[in-house]
Amino acid sequence: MPSIDPIDNEKELLVCLRAGEEAAFDQLYQRYANRIYGKLLRLTRSAEVAEELLQDVFMKVWERRESLNPALSFRSYLFRIAEHLISDYYRLAAKDRRMYDYLLRAGMSHEHPFDEDAESQLYQQNWERLQEAVGQLPLKCREVYTLCKIEGKSYREVASQLDMSTATISNHMTKANKLIRSYLNVPATLLVFLHCCLG
């Protein structure tokens, strides 16, 4: 049996992904997630933030799957998405001193949690609003969102726990994030901040 050229195989996967095949998404996720996560971790110096942004990278891939060009480098495409998300994340951080201070602490030490004694009334209000928004989600979306964002599990862990594909988890997360953003009336990058600081 002849071997399959990895590049051609990837093009086939991208064609399948464009058609909405979850198995193709799963294979591409498994192929690239660790590499993208490594880059995100180096740039953010926070495992929690890197994991959040990694999931957002693949959420965008799934959302935009129909516009993928199989002839172009998928790896480059993923890294461009990651770079844009990091840029947005730090642009927001620069506008929010409290978030900036948190990022500095996270960069210096991953072991020390956010200082609960220093939390402001705004922190409590944001947490309550996020909980209200999560409570409005459809049951399965809420379950997936809670496992991924509140309990901090990866898509792969949740997929295994719920006996679903990572693409199905991504679909639920895409829907959940859109509904939560709409409920809170906040941009996507602020939602990442809320996940990291309030989760």
Q: Which two tokens stand for residue 171?
A: 């679909």
CB neighbour class for 144 (10 Å; exposed up to 12, middle 13-18, buried from 19) = buried
Q: Which two tokens stand for residue 164?
A: 């679903």
Q: What is the pLDDT of residues 131-152, one digit of tens each?
A: 888 888 888 888 988 888 778 7
State the pLDDT at residue 6: 52
Q: Per-residue pLDDT for 18 more than 50?
A: yes
* Dihedral pair phi/psi, residue 124, rounded to 5°: -65, -40
State the pLDDT at residue 188: 56
Residue with structure tokens 């500095």?
104
Q: Per-residue pLDDT for 116 more than 50?
A: no
Q: Which two tokens stand for residue 83?
A: 């770079």
Lowest mean pLDDT among 82-91, 115-124, 129-138, 159-168: 115-124
State the pLDDT at residue 22: 86
> What residues contact 148, with CB distance under 8 A and at least 6 apart?
55, 154, 155, 158, 169, 173
Q: Per-residue pLDDT for 45 more than 90?
A: no
Q: Per-residue pLDDT for 9 more than 90?
A: no
Residue 111 or residue 186, greater confidence: 186
State the pLDDT at residue 108: 45
